[in-house]
Amino acid sequence: METLVTSGVSCFVIQANMSFASLPKGRKVALTTLGVLTTGGAGLALMLHQSVKASDLELHPPSYPWSHNGMLSSLDHSSIRRGYQVYKQVCAACHSMEYLAFRNLVGVSHTEDEVKALAEEIEVVDGPDESGEMFTRPGKLSDYFPKPYPNPEAARAANNGALPPDLSYIVNARHGGEDYVFSLLTGYCEPPAGVLEFDDGTPATMSQVAKDVCTFLRWAAEPEHDQRKRMGLKLLMGSSILIPLIYYLKRHRWSVLKSRKIAYRPPK
């Protein structure tokens, strides 16, 4: 068997060499040049990336021990609820979350009745009605989070020319994820006491507020976070049963058939 495998590989190498040798001279030069340029470009890009990464001009945020960083760890849903409260009372004054609807909160941080009450707090322009006029109505579960400004120009005008970024996927859009956002939020001075009070009685310290809103933003960027890890756990459990079974079939069943020698003896 080893002789057959070795001879098969040797034949493949010989055929590959013969096919390259049989190419016209111009095509050989073009392929060689393409290979050299590709290798050199990849090496140059890697060197530039490493030089920039090691530069003193780039400051990486510290790595914090988030409770959801483990392979089988889920998000803290109480923290998600408090984080939404922080976003609603503080962050929503400047930042939008246009890809998140009220219905996404149901079963995650709030009950359906609670989310309906939250949605009804806003007024949504809808229509047209039967007479062709636009009208306002209370919000409902299918509505998306309201934007603080009607358009980007108004947002820039209210913030000295700077456009506040949308926070729907901000932890995926920034290097360091929630570590970056947490470091940014805790880099400011301590907020005045009494500005924010959590509904569940948790002390609203600066680090607690930053931690909760970062957990909320992680969930907003990856609503499938917990489900993905549950599916991964199911896959590992299934693989622990399937892989030994496949090994047994390969080692004790298929190997006998694979190494079997069939000899043809013509009738005399």
Give the pLDDT score at 249: 86
DSSP string, 65-129: --TT-STTPPP-HHHHHHHHHHHHHTGGGT---TT-BGGGGBTTTB-HHHHHHHHTTSEEEE---
pLDDT along the chain (268 residues), means of 10: 43 47 76 87 79 61 92 94 96 95 96 96 90 92 96 95 96 94 88 80 92 97 95 94 91 77 81
Model confidence pLDDT, tens digit, residues 147-196: 999 999 999 999 999 999 999 999 999 989 999 999 999 988 776 667 78
Answer yes or no: is 91 a known binding residue.
yes
Q: Measure CA of the first residue to CA of the last residue in the chain; give whole Å.
A: 31
Average pLDDT over the chain, rounded to whole?
86
What per-residue confidence (pLDDT) applies to 212? 97
Residue 94 marked as a ligand binder = yes
Fold of 77-225: Cytochrome Bc1 Complex; Chain D, domain 2 (1.10.760)
- Write down the pTM of the prediction: 0.73
CB 79 within 8 A of CB 216: yes
